[in-house]
Amino acid sequence: MKSARGMLLIEVLLAMAFMAVLVAIGVQVATVSLASTTASEEKDVSHRLARELLEGARAASMSDWYALTYADRASEHHATTTASAAWAIASSSETLQVGSHIYTRAFTVASTSRDFVTRNLEDIYNPEHDDPSTLLVTATVSSTRGSVTLSEYITRWQNITCSQTAWDTLTVGTTDISTQNCAPTSHTDTVAFPSGTVETVGGTILLAP
């Protein structure tokens, strides 16, 4: 009788130990799954914040291209808005909280150069081939789970038309027109039309003799 009770006690203890192992494994699996989900969510948010930062840099370049051009190449920057709701560039990183997670983001600016023959962007910057109208902007977003980096070329959409009078003071990589013998100018031309009156028919301008 005592032997049977002893065997029953051993079986109960073994069953309890087995259940404890199963519970421990279940908790570990749930913890790993939760951590993986959290990491995936943070990475997704980091990608969206990096993309938003690049769009902010692009918007700032449209407001003031020279602010992006003369941004310190060795410093971090972020896009912000001014009192007039215009986009601008601030010389620092910024910290954001999304949900319960903290993210730090900033972008850097790098000069670019183009091959004189193919006009393609060069992989390694060559100051002799500097392209002042194209910049490489790299956005980095960091969180407790790591960092995400996205890069994009931003091109000046509006250039200044000027009359180049000399090359003696030309400085490669400089975009300040005052040092380039390049004063802004305008061009006006006159188009001669045949004599007669102008009539509009259905939105089309016709020249009547």
How large is the average pLDDT for residues 112-132?
A: 91
Rounded average pLDDT over 36-40: 65
Q: What is the per-residue pLDDT across 21-35, written as a single tens digit (0 to 9) for each?
A: 777 766 676 565 555
Mean pLDDT of 178-203: 52
Residue 9: the pLDDT is 63
Mean per-residue pLDDT for 108-135?
A: 92
The model's confidence at residue 135, banded by pLDDT at 50, 70 and 90, is very high
Mean pLDDT over 172-178 rounds to 49
189 vs 122, higher pLDDT: 122
Long-range pairs, 7-13, Cβ under 8 A, ≥24:
none
Q: Is the pLDDT of residue 122 over 70?
A: yes
What distance in Å separates the CA atoms of residue 205 and residue 187, rounded to the nearest whole number? 25
What's the pLDDT tens digit per position in 47-99?
Answer: 999 999 999 999 988 888 888 888 999 999 999 887 776 788 999 999 999 88
Report helix, strand or coil for 55: helix
Comparison of pLDDT for 13 and 93, the residue scoring more: 93
8 A C-beta contact, residue 85 and residue 109: no
Average confidence score pLDDT of the chain: 75
Report pLDDT for 16: 72
Q: What is the pLDDT of residue 198?
A: 54
Q: 51 or 12, which is more confident?
A: 51
Determine the average pLDDT of the residues in 44-49: 92
pTM, entire model: 0.61
Give every CB contact of residue 58 below 8 A, 6+ residues apart in sequence: 137, 152, 154
Per-residue pLDDT at 142:
93
Calculate the CA 181 to chain-centre distance.
34
